[in-house]
Structure 1
Amino acid sequence: MARLHGRFGPLPRWVVAVGAVVLIAVAAVWYVTAGSGTPAENARTSGPSTGASAAGSPSPSADCATTLVAKLTLEQQVGQLVMIGTPIETPLNAVPAIQRYQLGGIFLAGRSTASAASLKEAIGQLQAAAPTTGLGLQIGIDQEGGQVQTLKGADFPAIPTAVNQGKLDDATLAANTAEWAGRLKAIGVTIDLAPVADVVPADVGKANPPIGGFDRQYGSTPEPVAADVATVVTAMQGAGVLTTLKHFPGLGRVRVNTDKATGARDDVTTADDPALQPFVKGIEAGSAAVMISSATYPKLDAANVAAFSAPIVTGLLRQKLGFDGLVLSDDLGAAVAVNSVPLGQRAVRFITAGGDVALSVRLSDAGPWTDALIAAAKADPAFAARVVESATRVVRAKVRAGLARCA
């Protein structure tokens, strides 16, 4: 439910009343105009939803996605489960891998000050290289703000850190987020790997290298972070760019960066932890995706990092929290946290745990990952069924993003 309180206290009753009247009027206009087409026509012309279909209830595109996935070969289904990084400065380096391995997603890695026009042209060329399955590429990027902002320069002004975004009132945060997302939408980015839903306790702060060390958190307590995350999800997806809540079930308490070392561990988080609230609220706001961390959470699963943990991905996220949207991994390629696991098995173990899209920042991982996934599917009917299930979620998200259409 949307908050009726701003950052500076309760809103006056007359504001709430006027707002209700306006909403009723807008709803009536929408019903007359948007509701006049057939369901299929409305689905084809609508942008990414900001509703809560990803929170557990079936998506309107579920049947469509099932039909589209049934037409794909195993190799094409597997390709949908992989998002591979390509340097943002030379994005077309990914074209051979896209075509050879029939990839479904590309992550634009690094930093760039290139113009919007040049980036739009390059992303258009990537889309033109997509396999001839009728499915466009999911184009992902890290555009959080602060030091984690892939695109900067004249066409992409600096975005404040999440710590500073968290100091804004709701309306300003929503308006700013929509403006930032609109710039991504205009060049063809379809999914932002944001917002960060991690809560960094005040007594941890900068001692938390992956999040607190860069001010990537919206705050130090669950409730305000949850409110900001819901605001960002609604605003960004309203502007046409899918969102990704990260890094489930939370990286705010760890003392090690999973990208750079092993041993990232959270001995506190449980299935009922208040720090999960930002993920819950982001899911309720309709976030298309959730990203899984590569830290260990002994109270949830003492044997596996989260990305390889069925109790965390399937048990906690899918079943307890009811999320049936897209589940992405954090980087499973260059990240040191998972380097003890054979390369191809990283993708297999993530999908086995209940994930949908294995992410690597390295182009060279496309071959080993798709080969391993195909081999596992051929050897194990249960894993082959997981491939179909995850490919269906991927395609459902693509329908939502306007990257696929139903007949």
Structure 2
Amino acid sequence: MTLGQRVGQAFMVSSPVTGADAQSVHVLADLHVGNVFMKGRSTAGTAGIGAVVAEAAGHASEAGVRPFVATDQEGGFVQIMRGPGFDVMPQAIEQGQLAPATLQADAKRWGQQLAGSGVNVNLAPVLDTVPGAAFAPRNAPIGAFGREYGYTPAAVSSHGLAFARGMLAAGVEPAVKHFPGLGRVTGNTDVTTGVTDSTTVRNDPYVAPFRDAVDAGVPWLMISNAYYPKIDPQDLGPFSHVIIQGMVRGDLDFAGIIVSDDICDARQVAAVPAAQRGVDFINAGGTMVLCTNQSVAPAMYQGMLEAAQKNPAFARKIDDAALLVLEEKAAKGLISK
């Protein structure tokens, strides 16, 4: 596998769920990006969406290695795939009212619908704890959309893990998010800058749902784009060695895939040049860069490739990330002998 292909394994780029466009095809096929995120909204149902997923996966398949194909299928306002064959999923705050066993069974069914459409990774569940119903409307990324399972770490843990276990039972790998938590912020990192959590500390009780998920064996964990000055006063979440290496790999002892939140379109990271963002995330200990804007992806990919060509230490980090992804793909049956 070439260096470019190894960089591609540490990268996930978007492709429209309504059909691949020329730019997403270019990035997946010509730049050897090995993983795809189905972006947007579609009501074409399992058959129609399955055909689109198969096309995108074909562009991202190379040398017997098939891609991780991800989407956002949380429920409520965040459900990319709809239509015949897909249930209408309730918001997480409503899922949190169900018995955990009921939610797990529901999530297994929702996961089977995804798997039947060719999706093998769901960027869910949200394990962010919003501190209370009164604060929820001010919590732009989570509470304002009912994406929280409850208002205590225990409630979030019990129901978030039920959702994750259901997905796993369906053969879809859940990615818990957004570590170390977005429940206490007011701004949304997708659309604004300066989003800061001035409360959360390294051994915070609100980290408990993530720890429980890791202990339960979840294979993916997503890093928040927010700034956590009481944890790391120097770097934003996706570029923080303290958060990724110190907390995720160290405190939580997580050995799986650490994926970024989107670091292409997110306004929170706009001050960092696109070519540097992927480099900074991998340098901090991340495994897979998520880019939900395929037009920005080439600059990010090229930045990672050039850094690996010039810096042997960074090249080793790319190799480590690619190996971790490939090992998970092998375990998932995505590599042909």
TM-score computed with the length of structure 1 as normaliser? 0.80
**Is this contact kept in 2: 1:233–1:286, CA < 8 A?**
no
Specify which of 236, 243, 247 is matched with residue 305 of structure 1. Answer: 236
- Whole-angstrom CA distance in 1 between matches of 2:328 and 2:297: 21
After superposition, what is the alpha-carbon deviation per residue over 1:290-323, rounded to whole angstroms, capped at 9, x for unaligned?
0001100011101111000000011111111100
Shift of 1:95: 2.3
**Is this contact kept in 1: 2:179–2:224, CA < 8 A?**
yes
In structure 2, the residue matched to 1:261 is: 192
Letter in 1 for 2:93: V
Shift of 1:91: 2.7
- Whole-angstrom CA distance in 1 between matches of 2:15 and 2:229: 34
- Whole-angstrom CA distance in 2 between matches of 1:271 and 1:247: 15
Shift of 1:368: 0.9
Letter in 1 for 2:109: E
- Whole-angstrom CA distance in 2 between matches of 1:251 and 1:401: 30
Shift of 1:272: 1.1
In structure 1, the residue matched to 2:69 is: 139
Task: Confirm whether residue 168 of structure 1 aligns to residue 98 of structure 2.
Answer: yes
- Whole-angstrom CA distance in 2 between matches of 1:141 and 1:393: 20
Specify which of 122, 130, 134 is matched with residue 60 of structure 2. Answer: 130
Letter in 1 for 2:158: A
Specify which of 300, 324, 330 is matched with residue 393 of structure 1. Answer: 324
- Whole-angstrom CA distance in 1 between matches of 2:115 and 2:27: 24
Count of residue pairs brought into register by the alignment: 335
In structure 1, the residue matched to 2:140 is: 209
Letter in 1 for 2:249: R
What SS class does the counterpart of residue 331 from structure 2 fall into? helix
The correspondence of residues 16-55 of structure 1 with structure 2, limited to 5 A, is none
In structure 1, the residue matched to 2:10 is: 81
The correspondence of residues 353-372 of structure 1 with structure 2, limited to 5 A, is 353-372=284-303
The correspondence of residues 65-144 of structure 1 with structure 2, limited to 5 A, is 72-91=1-20, 93=22, 94-144=24-74
- Whole-angstrom CA distance in 2 between matches of 1:159 and 1:131: 30
Task: Confirm whether residue 377 of structure 1 aligns to residue 332 of structure 2.
Answer: no
- Whose RCO is larger (CA < 8 A, sep 6+)? 1
- Whole-angstrom CA distance in 1 between matches of 2:185 and 2:57: 38
What SS class does the counterpart of residue 302 from structure 1 fall into? coil
- Whole-angstrom CA distance in 2 between matches of 1:217 and 1:328: 20
**Is this contact kept in 1: 2:95–2:103, CA < 8 A?**
yes
Question: CA RMSD of the aligned region, Å?
Answer: 1.2
Task: Confirm whether residue 336 of structure 1 aligns to residue 267 of structure 2.
Answer: yes
Shift of 1:186: 0.4
Shift of 1:92: 5.2
TM-score computed with the length of structure 2 as normaliser? 0.97
**Is this contact kept in 1: 2:27–2:33, CA < 8 A?**
yes
- Whole-angstrom CA distance in 2 between matches of 1:140 and 1:199: 24
Letter in 1 for 2:150: G
**Is this contact kept in 2: 1:193–1:243, CA < 8 A?**
yes
Letter in 2 for 1:207: R
**Is this contact kept in 1: 2:16–2:38, CA < 8 A?**
yes
Unaligned runs of 5+ in 2: none
In structure 2, the residue matched to 1:47 is: none
Task: Confirm whether residue 199 of structure 1 aligns to residue 116 of structure 2.
Answer: no
